Amino acid sequence: MPIIKYPRIRDPLFYEWDRKAQKCGLRHTIYAVNGDQYTGEWLDNMKHGKGTQVWKNNGAIYSGDWKFGKRDGYGSYSIPDPVTKEYKKVYTGWWKNDHKAGYGVWFYPNGERYEGEWSHGVRSGWGRMCYLDGSSYEGQWQEDRPNGLGMLRLPNGNRYEGYWKDGKKHGPGRYFYLDKGQLLEGTWAADIAKCGVVIDSGRDKAPAPTPYPIPKV
């Protein structure tokens, strides 16, 4: 009885080419169509693990952890100076799902700095903001603005300790006028003191005390 041989069924060539093109593990620099480049680890054709991404449109660099194609874990983000072309660090800290999340430090172009917690890419949680004029705020944040309990310290040493809402003093608090040696304890609404009691506090050692002490009741 003659033996009939049938040709072995093979997958189309594009299946094999696709398997070979799948990126997995540590790879050399991969260039995207738009000019972006990535050097690092892959999993199932997605950036996953440690890697460095360079964006062509603005020259920004991210170096750190990736998870299924998105920045996730610890990493730093830097951009080049438009004049000197030297790289300046913008953010270093934790990421989740391609957004700043967890603890991190953001360096603003004007020299200001925020160090604290983030959520979905905005300041949220407990953090400290150092402003250009020398003042600083340390306390709770929500949706990128002071919300909750916090302290604002001014360049002359005066400070406010109390509650905030939408970036303004709101609720019970205390304002220390260290330059005058006085203390205002009361309630604020939208950055305005509505009611309270003023007492002398270290007035004899203050650099610019008021002419007359507050009479005792």
Residue 17: predicted pLDDT: 45
Where in the sequence is the domain holding 168, given as residue range(s)?
Answer: 22-173
Is 82 domain-assigned? yes
pLDDT exceeds 90 at position 208: no
The reported pTM is 0.83
Q: What is the mean pLDDT of residues 4-23?
A: 55
Is 217 domain-assigned? no
With the CA atoms of 201, 205, 208 and 210 taken in that order, what torsion angle do they form, in degrees rounded to the nearest 10?
50
pLDDT exceeds 90 at position 85: no
**Structural domain count, the chain:** 1
Is 151 domain-assigned? yes
When pLDDT is cut at 50, 70 and 90, the band that residue 142 belongs to is very high
Is 146 domain-assigned? yes
Q: Which of 81, 51, 47, 80 is nearest to 64 (CA)?
A: 51
When pLDDT is cut at 50, 70 and 90, the band that residue 23 belongs to is low
Is 211 domain-assigned? no
Measured distance CA(184)–CA(162) in Å, rounded: 12
Is 1 domain-assigned? no
User: For residue 47, what are the β-bridge partners?
Assistant: 42
Q: What is the mean pLDDT of residues 2-31?
A: 60
Q: What is the 3-state secondary structure (H, E, C) of 35-90?
A: CCEEEEEEECCEEEEEEEEECCCCCCEEEEEEECCEEEEEEEEEEECCCCCCEEEE
CATH number of the domain that residue 155 is part of: 2.20.110.10
Is 42 domain-assigned? yes
Q: Which of 80, 135, 81 is nearest to 113 (CA)?
A: 135
* Residue, of 52 and 24, whose pLDDT is higher: 52
Residue 15: predicted pLDDT: 47
Residue 123: predicted pLDDT: 98
Is 210 domain-assigned? no
Write the pLDDT tens digit of every residue in 170-191: 999 999 999 999 999 999 999 9
